[in-house]
Structure 1
Amino acid sequence: MDMIDDARPAEQRWLLLIHQLPTKPAYFRVKIWRRLQGIGAVAVKNTVYALPANAETQEDFEWLLKEIVEGGGEAMVCEARLVDGLSDGQVRSLFDAARDEDYEALIKEARALSAKLVATTAQDESAELSGQVRRLRKRLMEIAAIDFFGATGRLSAESLIAGLEARIAEDKDMTEEQPQAVTNLVGRVWVTRQGVHVDRIACAWLIRRFIDPDAVIRFVPGKGYVPKAGELRFDMFEGEITHEGDRCSFEVLLGRAGLIDPALQPIAEIVHDIDLKDGKFGREEATGIGHLIAGVAMANKDDEQRIAQGSPIFDNLYQYFRTKRG
C-alpha cells in the first residue's frame, strides 16, 4: 500500500489583485503603480499583482482596490494557490529579485555617502550629510517592511548604514505641551472591522486613553455593516473616521479629536509608517513596534484581547516620548 507523504511543505497562499485602470488621467496610472511598489506587490501577469496572503497584505490590497474603483477603474482581490505555470518558489524569487534590486541601489548610495563623510570636515556639510544618512535609514525601513522572504541584500545594506550612523551624532529637540481635554466624542459607540491590527489597535487605545475611558468598541464585518444611531465607524470603508488622503485613521482621529499633545505626534508617525508602509516619516521605531503588534495579533484571535495586549505598547511609547521630548 502506498503511503501519503505528510511531510510535504505547506502550500503558500497568495493574494492576487486583478485590475484594469482607465486610460486617463495618466497620473492616476502612475499613482497606482507607485502604490503597488510601495506595498511590495510584484507583477505575475500584466494586470495581475501578487502578495503573500496574510491579514496585513489583504488590508493593503483592499485599500488599493478602493482607490482604483474610486478612480474609475475595475479591480478584484482573490486568494489563490498556484497549481501550474508559476511555482511558489518562482514567485518568491520575483519578490527577492525586486528587493535585492532595491537594496543594491541603497548600497551604492551608502558607499558614495561614506566617501563624502570621510572627506568632509565642515560642520555645515556634516549636518547635511547627517540628513542624507537619515534618508537612507528611512529607505531601508521601507524596503525591509516589504521584504517578505528575506532577500540577501538586506544584511549588506544594514551594515553599511549602521556604520554611517555610528559616525554621526544627532540632536533633536521638541517642545512639550499639555493635551487638550476632549469631550465632544464622549458617550459614543465606536465600531470597527473585525481582525484589528496596528491602526485600529492604536485608535482604540487613543479613544479609551484620551477621549472616553468608558468607550464601548464593537467589532463587525468589514463589508455590508449598516451603522446604528449614535455609532461612529473608524478605520472602515465609508466610516466617519477613516483614512483620508495619505493619512491613516489614527492621524485622522487625532485631528478630529483636537488632540495636540506633542508626544502623540511621533506615535501617529509610527502607526502611519507601519500601516501604510510608505516610509513617509521614516520612524526608526516602526519596525520593532510593527513586529510587536504582529505578535499580539498572531497570539490573540479575539479583538478585545488584541486591544488589551496592544494598548500597553502605546502606553509605554507615550511615556517614552513625553520623557524624551521628541
Structure 2
Amino acid sequence: MVRVPADPSRHRVAVWRELRRVGALSLGQGAWVVPDAPVFADGVARVVELARRGGGEVLVLDAAGRAQPDAARLEALFTAERAEEWAEFLADCDKFDAEIDKEIRTRKFTLAELEEEEQSLERLRRWHRAITARDVFGAPAAVDAGQRLQHCADRLADYTEQVFQALHQM
C-alpha cells in the first residue's frame, strides 16, 4: 500500500515509475502487488525509500488469496502483465530486424551504423533479462522472445560480417 502526497508530483511519479520498472501489478488506489520472490526485494526497498523521501509511506504486507481461485487470479493478472511486456519486446525485435534489412538494402555498411545496431541489440538483451527476471510464472511468450532475441543476434552477426567485407573492399 503506497501513499505519497500529490505535491510535488515528482515524488509520486518516481514511485510509480519504480513500481512499473519492478513489474508490480496495480490493484488500484495505491495497492500494488508483486509475487513473494527474491527478485522483487530490491525494487520494493527502492519504492519504500522513494516514498519516504517524498513524505509518503508504504505499508508492505505478505498476503495470499483466501482460496485457490484468488491466488490463481493474481497469478493470471501478473502473467498477463508480463505477456504485454513480451509483446512489446517482440515488436521491438521486429523493428530491429527491419532496421537490419533496411541497412543491408541501402548498403549502409559503416562502423558507425554497426555500433548503433550493436547498442540496439544490447538494449534488447538488457530488456529481455529484466522481463525474464520478473516473469516468475512463465508467460507463454517468453520462449518465443528468447528465440527472437537469438534471431536478432544472428542478424547482427550477419550484418557485422557484411560491414567488415565492405570496409575491406575499399
Secondary structure of 1:134's aligned partner: helix
1:142, CA displacement in angstroms? 1.4
Where does the alignment leave 5 or more consecutive residues of structure 2 unmatched? 161-170
**Do residues 131 (structure 1) and 119 (structure 2) align?**
yes
1:112, CA displacement in angstroms? 2.1
Structure whose CA Rg is larger: 1
Aligned residues between the structures: 153
Aligned counterpart, 2:48: 65
- Would you say the 8 A contact 1:117–1:126 is kept in 2? no
1:110, CA displacement in angstroms? 1.0
State the TM-score, normalized to the length of structure 1: 0.44
Secondary structure of 2:121's aligned partner: helix
Instruction: Specify the code of the residue in structure 2 equivalent to 1:122.
Output: K
- Would you say the 8 A contact 1:43–1:49 is kept in 2? yes
Q: Show structure 1 runs of 4+ deviating over 4 A.
A: none
- Would you say the 8 A contact 1:62–1:77 is kept in 2? no
- Would you say the 8 A contact 2:2–2:56 is kept in 1? yes
Q: Closer, same or farther in 2 for the Cα pair 1:161/1:55, shift >3 Å?
A: closer
Aligned counterpart, 2:26: 43
1:36, CA displacement in angstroms? 0.5
Greater share of helix residues, 1 or 2? Answer: 2
- Would you say the 8 A contact 1:20–1:73 is kept in 2? yes
Aligned counterpart, 1:111: 94
Among 123, 135, 145, the alignment partner of 1:157 is 145
Identity level (%):
24
Distance 2:6 2:51 in 1: 12
Aligned counterpart, 1:264: none
* Deviations, residues 18-42 of structure 1 (Å, cap 9, x unaligned): 1111011112111111100111111
Secondary structure of 1:168's aligned partner: helix
Counting only pairs closer than 5 Å after superposition, residues 269-284 of structure 1 correspond to structure 2 as none
1:63, CA displacement in angstroms? 3.5
Higher relative contact order (CA 8 A, sep 6+): 2
Greater share of strand residues, 1 or 2? Answer: 1
Secondary structure of 1:43's aligned partner: strand
State the TM-score, normalized to the length of structure 2: 0.80
1:147, CA displacement in angstroms? 0.8
- Would you say the 8 A contact 1:100–1:152 is kept in 2? yes
Distance 2:78 2:47 in 1: 19
